Amino acid sequence: MSEHSASNGRASNGGASNGGASNGGASNGQAGTLTSAAATRGELAVEAISVSKDFKIGHGQTLHAVRDVSFNLYRGAVVALVGESGSGKSTAARMLAGQERLTSGEIKLDGKPVHVTGRGDFRHYKSQVQYVFQDPFASLNPVHTVRYHLERPVKLHQGRGIDVDAEVTALMEQVRLTPARQFLAKYPHELSGGQRQRVSFARALAAKPSVLLADEPVSMLDVSIRLEMLALLDDLRKRFSLAMLYITHDIASARYFADEVLVMYAGEIVERGPAEEVTQQPAHPYTQLLVASAPDPDNLGSTLRRGPGRAGGSAGNGAGPAKPHQATQVATTGCPFSPRCPLAEDRCRAEDPALMPITDTRGAACWRLDAAAPELVSGRSGGDVTP
């Protein structure tokens, strides 16, 4: 199963624009077609096709939170959306969950366009697509017991004639909160952080979904139990053949948990490919930065640490490593990462690159792949990788 890997019109750059207008840059069109590394796991469940989300922020300005993002979710597979805070990954997940309206683009569930126009449509969609929030304490109602949190979705989504007590007990066993009677009468504040997140998992499973959107599901938990919780999610994925979107800022966990990694920066996917390949041989300078900042990076991201002068090519205009005050900057023209990139040259500051194929399953949006990842593009002719 193939999917589009680049957006038409990457020229609409920048974090914010006056009146919602696009800022500079040239459209690179469709960069080709990539095959998702998760496609071999199972059937196609969800398609996000060139989805965008803009927010009006006052004074005639528009924040482009998500810009022409496309990806697929497959049953039994995990796709990780990786990026730092503010990259747009949670907004993308909320659009898939039906909690944010799309500015443009389309979402398909089981091959059919999703049009949520009323409460009935929304409930039907939510029975198939469930969302697990980052903070389990904030997502659970403090005045209701665990039993209430599980009984309500069972009654809403599974209809009449269901043995609610048996179903709730089964849900507790699925997330390994046993014996169930010991926890069902408790309130959220009486549970540990890990136990609260297990209740959140059980509540999502109560609808018997086919798609699970997990937004930083372990980031609020103690480090000692994060691996245990990821193992639980992996078990649930296999047991119920869930199509899972795993959102995280921790690229190291994505390596071990996901089939495919999508790296997001300033609302755009800047690199994608099989999890092992992206984390072991990152192509985009931003991905290299994420890997280099992770524990035990295996000396990856070395191109950034060496600096452009030793990376096999000129960085253009003597650009050096990003200065501290540049760390939060996003370019309003050209590549959004260019203010932070030590390899940036004039073209990077003028044109926003589309996602360009490296292999059948990998792509990166960078004009300087010849310098950032020469070993990956050595077979290509010329200094720049073009669509």
The phi and psi torsions of 34 (rounded to 5 degrees) equal -110, 150
Tell me whether residue 135 is in a domain.
Answer: no
Cis ω for the linkage preceding 308 (within 30 of 0): no
Instruction: Encode the chain (387 residues) as per-residue pLDDT tens digits.
Output: 455 443 434 543 334 443 333 333 333 333 347 899 999 999 999 999 999 999 998 888 889 999 999 999 999 999 999 999 999 999 999 999 999 999 999 999 999 999 877 788 888 899 999 999 988 889 999 999 999 999 999 998 987 788 999 999 999 999 999 999 999 999 999 999 999 999 999 999 999 999 999 999 988 888 888 889 999 999 999 999 999 999 999 998 999 899 999 999 999 999 999 999 999 999 999 999 999 888 764 554 454 555 544 443 443 444 444 443 344 567 678 999 999 999 999 999 999 999 999 999 999 999 999 999 999 987 544 333 333
Tell me whether residue 151 is in a domain.
Answer: no
User: Rounded CA gap, 211 and 237, in Å?
Assistant: 9
Count of domains forming the chain:
1
Tell me whether residue 200 is in a domain.
Answer: no
User: Rounded CA gap, 193 and 179, in Å?
Assistant: 18
Residue 268: closest CA among 181, 325, 338, 203: 338
Residue the block writes with tokens 């903070």? 135
| CA end-to-end span of the chain | 21
User: Rounded CA gap, 10 and 33, in Å?
Assistant: 16
User: Rounded CA gap, 73 and 3, in Å?
Assistant: 11
Tell me whether residue 164 is in a domain.
Answer: no
User: Rounded CA gap, 331 and 16, in Å?
Assistant: 10
Tell me whether residue 351 is in a domain.
Answer: yes
Q: What's the CATH number where 97 sits? A: 3.40.50.300
Structural domain span for residue 37: 2-110+210-377
89, two tokens: 């990954």
